Amino acid sequence: MILKRRSSYQGGFTLIEMVIVIAVIGILMGIAFNGISSIQQNARDTRRLADLRKVQTHLELYFNRCGHYPNGQACGAAIGTGSGALDWDILVTALSSVVSANEVPTEPLVAKQGKYHYDFGNGGLDYVVSAKMEKLGSNRDVTGTPYITSCDTYYCIRS
């Protein structure tokens, strides 16, 4: 019986095999991160829409108490005829007369998307709240009237 001598090679991976495995793992991670990113964008857009609906509810409470929507005037002040925009922080302050300031939502990615927007018209008898969505095609023009915020690039909810 003849015995073959084993070589000193213990069996391992070559450099090329390692590079191929790392490349395949990189491709799979790229696909996974792309899918996760899309899911996160959808989640943030859903939150934005819910936030705008919540603000809409707060604005209706304000209207019932003050007789107009926030317009830079004190609650119950005479209604003018102008239109304009209020900074979101000023809107939060105005709404704090009917709800806690902590209940007024803020944009989830301010640095990337910008703040939510609030415009009033007819001296405070109507309004538009809007947010910029991350997914293309998710913005709607619901105003039909010119406001400071373009509802062609923002998702808008109108009174």
Provide the residue type at 71 as one letter: N
Q: Are 45 and 133 in contact (CB under 8 A)?
A: yes
pTM given for the model: 0.72
User: Alpha-carbon distance 107 to 114, whole Å?
Assistant: 7
DSSP string, 45-57: HHHHHHHHHHHHH
Residue 9, domain member (yes or no): no
Residue 75, domain member (yes or no): yes
Helix (H, G, I), strand (E, B) or coil at 77: coil
Residue 66, domain member (yes or no): yes
- The beta strand positions in 30-105, using DSSP E, are 84-86
User: Alpha-carbon distance 107 to 97, whole Å?
Assistant: 21
Structure confidence by residue, pLDDT tens digits, 51-77: 999 999 999 999 999 999 998 888 877
Residue 33, domain member (yes or no): yes
Average pLDDT of the segment spanning 36-65: 89
Structural domain span for residue 56: 15-158
Residue 3, domain member (yes or no): no
Using left for φ > 0, alpha for ψ between -120 and 50, and beta otherwise, residue 150 falls in beta
Residue 4, domain member (yes or no): no
Structure confidence by residue, pLDDT tens digits, 111-130: 666 778 899 988 889 899 98
Helix (H) or strand (E) holding 115: none
What is the model's pLDDT at position 145? 46
Residue 106, domain member (yes or no): yes
User: Alpha-carbon distance 149 to 81, whole Å?
Assistant: 18
Q: Are 130 and 109 in contact (CB under 8 A)?
A: no
